[in-house]
Amino acid sequence: MTDTAASEGQSDRLAINIQDVSFYWPTGATVLNSCSLTIQRGEFCMLLGNNGSGKSTLLRLLAGLLPRQTGKLEASGPVGFVFQNPDHQLVMPTVGADVAFGLVKDRLSVKQVRQRVEEALSAVNLWNLQRRPIYALSGGQKQRVAIAGAIAQHCEILLLDEPTALLDPDSQIDLVEQVQALVKSRGLTALWVTHRLAELDYCDRAFLLEGGKVSDQGDPQRLKQKMTTSYLTPS
Ligand SMILES: Nc1ncnc2c1ncn2[C@@H]1O[C@H](COP(=O)(O)OP(=O)(O)OP(=O)(O)O)[C@@H](O)[C@H]1O
Ligand SMILES: [Mg+2]
């Protein structure tokens, strides 16, 4: 699909619609310069680009963690964010308490909270670790708890900013397979930032951010090939 999809009558199928978004920090140069991209519901997409190219800035704008300056940023449903370092995100002492924490604002009954937590932890294959202290989890398990938090809140769109950066190779693959399966089984949409080209094997479509905008997009294998022969190190 192209960035003109919205104008071709497919906008109701879009999960993410970013049009002509520009962003600058008061302290520095423009990071995003009329950046546009669209993602359909149920797609698993990856975002590539050099250090400092604006990937995290774009995700944070989309999640509402940064104030929008110019352009259109639309998400079709609730958005969940998974950070590179889960220790910046998990705030409660145990797995179950952390997943429940995100539901406080929803005014649910105790029974409803229990059901949501159990269902979300089952979705990421951690249902048996509900009482486990967060400190006693592996890095990959912590990232899955973060994803469970988003599922418990009924997020439809997952934004994942280099979620495997701190994981060993086996855990990296486990996590990307897990997100791929969740996208397929639950109809979620995911936008995953990565520098690891091996992860492109699991997504439907990829984008390259360069010069403040999407300079290339499409088949992940084509972009993988292009990146392998340019500036990113294959993993
Ligand atoms: N809080 C901030 N204040 C000022 N400038 C910032 C701030 N956060 C990021 N930047 C700058 O914005 C630019 C884009 O940063 P961003 O973190 O979005 O890049 P990135 O593509 O995610 O990089 P990386 O691959 O290293 O994570 C960089 O030049 C960065 O120094
Ligand atoms: Mg970043």
Measure 54 CA to ligand 1 centroid, in angstroms: 6
**pLDDT score, position 159:** 98
- Tell how far the Cα of 139 is from the centroid of ligand 1, in angstroms: 24
User: For position 231, what pLDDT does the model report?
Assistant: 55
pLDDT the model gives residue 29: 82
Q: Which tokens in the block code for residue 75?
A: 């998400």
- Segment 33-82, tens digit of pLDDT: 999 999 999 999 999 999 999 999 999 999 999 999 999 999 999 999 99
Instruction: Answer whether residue 230 shows pLDDT above 80.
Output: no
- Nearest-angstrom CA–CA distance, 39 and 16: 5
SS (H, E, C) 198-215: HHHHHCCEEEEEECCEEE
Integer Cα distance of 62 and 69 in angstroms? 12
pLDDT band at 4 (very low <50, low <70, confident <90, very high): very low
**Res 3 pLDDT > 50:** no
The 10 Å Cβ neighbour count of residue 113 is: 18
Q: Crossing angle of helices 139-152/110-123, nearest 10°?
A: 130
Pocket test for ligand 1, best of 31, 35, 60, 62 (most atoms within 8 A of CB): 31
Residue 100 CA to ligand 2 center (angstroms) comes to 28
The closest-lying atom of ligand 1 relative to the alpha carbon of residue 27 is 4
Residue 162 in tokens: 């280099």
Q: What is the pLDDT of residue 6?
A: 43
Q: Identify the nearest ligand to the CA of 58 by its number.
A: 1
The rounded Å distance from CA 182 to ligand 1 centre is 29
The pLDDT of residue 7: 47
Which domains are delineated in the chain?
A: 1-77+156-235 (3.40.50.300), 86-155 (no CATH)
Q: Which residue has the higher pLDDT, 11 or 216?
A: 216
Q: What is the mean pLDDT of the chain?
A: 92
pLDDT tens digits along 72-116: 999 999 999 999 999 998 999 999 999 999 998 888 999 999 999
pTM exceeds 0.85, yes or no: yes
116 C-beta neighbours (distance < 10 Å), count: 21
Report the candidate in 75, 40, 69, 74 with the shortest Cα–Cα distance to residue 54: 69
Q: How far apart are the first and last CA of the chain?
A: 28
Query: Which of 15, 5, 16, 29 has the alpha carbon at shortest distance from 72?
Result: 16
Of the listed ligands, the closest to the CA of 209 is: 1
For ligand 1, atom 28, name the residue with the nearest CA: 52
Cβ < 6 A, ligand 1 pocket: 25, 27-28, 31, 49, 51-57
Averaged pLDDT for residues 166-192: 96
The rounded Å distance from CA 52 to ligand 2 centre is 7
Best CA proximity match to 13, nearest among 91, 76, 83: 76
Q: Rounded to whole angstroms, how far apart are CA atoms 230 and 109?
A: 53
Q: How many CA atoms lie within 13 A of 34 on its CB side?
A: 1
